[in-house]
Structure 1
Amino acid sequence: MDLDLGQVRAFVSVADQLHFSRAAGDLFLTQQALSKRIKRLEQTVGVSLFTRNVRSVQLTRAGDRFLPYARDLLATAEAAGRALRESLPAIRVDVWGQVHAPTHVLRAAGSDTTLSLSMRRSDAASTGALRRGELDLAFVGTLTAPLADLSYEEVYREPMAVLVHPDHPLGNLEVWTVDDLRHTGIWYPDLSAVPELQAFFHDYAKDNGIDFTVEGTNLGLRDGVALMRQDPARVTVLGAEWDIGDEKVLRRVPLTPTPAYSWSMAWRKNDRNPALAALVQRIRQVVRRKGWLDLADNPAFVDGPRRG
């Protein structure tokens, strides 16, 4: 019996979900395409694998008996693919910076192939390296002009929050609003070395009528936190998930509406590396499973200034 692994994978997904629409979403298929795969598999094996009505989907007795073997087939195929991918060169990925969302995305997605990571901290630098063939995948933020020879796919909307000293007059607020920031203003160190972040924060302040002050050299996030610890008058906005160490003084407080920095993965359209394709697919799956783009449905969550 010549079984199509795509059809077998469709069968296992429906068996796990007992719901055609959810299974189609997990496989990035339309429900019609998924139904066709199941029908062709049933034609190949010669029996019905599911009973379906308006309200429910259930495995038939034959489907229940076939399921463990179907899982074994997929596991064997994955093991074979992993063995091949492990023999390939490392995938070169630029994650932009150490404390930002791309490293979180990669950790959650995992990879069977060795990854070689870099941190160029600039969209222009990483896309240039992609085009020269020095990278296989890069994470980029605000896009002023997407390049025609690269594919882009949004993967994460990184929420922002307020960082404030408890001795500040508003330091005890549990949630900050834009009006609060209009009252206090925002302080930033010099962010010219990271132009995309600089544009994001400055545009957020300007678009919302918030005064901002740029003062001090940017020596890294921990240094900026230390400067704020010394001066309770300073208030800033930063990533709600950025690692600021074991901070025991400053408070990171939710901001509503919540601005978000949009991250996309980018790769060359003509890249046919199967290991890269597998990594991209894993990232897509974890993005969907974690709901990282669903925050847009929350009225308290809005996209921050984004170009392009």
Structure 2
Amino acid sequence: MKIAVDAMGGDHAPEVVVKGVQAARDQWPDLEFMLFGDLAKVKPLITDETRIELIQSDSVILNEDEPVKAVRQKKDSSMVMAAQAVKNGEAEALFSLGNTGALLATGIFVIGRIKGIERPALMPTLPTVNPGHVVNLLDAGANAESKASYLEQWAIMGTIYARDIRNITNPRVALLNNGTEFDKGDPLHKEVYQRLEANEAINFVGNIEANSLLLDQADVIVSDGFTGNAVLKATEGMSSLLLKQIKQALLNNGLGVKLGAAMIKPALGDIKNRFSTSGNGGAVLLGVKAPVIKTHGGSHEDAIISTIGQIREMLAKKTIHQVIDYLKENPIK
């Protein structure tokens, strides 16, 4: 299995990308990598080129670049060249820590949509109150506007992913809404509710509100892209803020509190690790013809290894092919 990697994407590229790729290569002998980047910077970081192919790219898509314009104009960039390798069949998946909007555009315009999927969706994996349990949210921002058919398609893809990658026999699917009652929401969400309830391939458990997002009440939560992105950013922001506030309170309230903080430090570390970007893998662009996965730009080696393991699972279990096969037999319009 071969993965095309944008070695220049992210806050700590290429050092952290190369380090993570080499560690993943050593952990999984069935993986090969194509690294696209500035070889003057990348090659000195490589300690062992076993199962790693290096390809020169002459430009980089930056975070401040306008996504679609950058993809069209920077065809010699590490991200676009990696995507082109997937399109050409030289690699089976695309991995990047770079500009999220550009990666979405690259996945859609270079690799291409699955037939029967009107709009791909961005799907991160989030922790829940129960250790070891996570939830997938889609769409988390790939689409500013949505139709009911989009959300039904995303529910199917989320179900297949949760079943194959998370090994859940019958994943619970919920609809993010402004109330739990069946008749809540605007016309779009009311129609989506009826569609999900009527689709026998989906284990629909009803509406879910944003305050229950991480309460382990569903395995997959579908949302229109605008709302999903807003809820995701609010959740991430609040988690980060609370951890910082707890740390400041423990360190700035006298010796007794500091001694208590030392005693509970391991427990706080466990909470921090559960809400970090390292353990839960990357965000998947579901709906394109190959796995396209994005990890947070500030990620370090552990997050890269975790995400590469996620990609490996998707390739081994042919998750994208299962979506393609399902939609051939059961088109959703």
* TM-score, scaled relative to structure 1: 0.27
Structure with max Cα Rg: 1
Which structure features the higher share of helix residues?
2
* TM-score, scaled relative to structure 2: 0.25
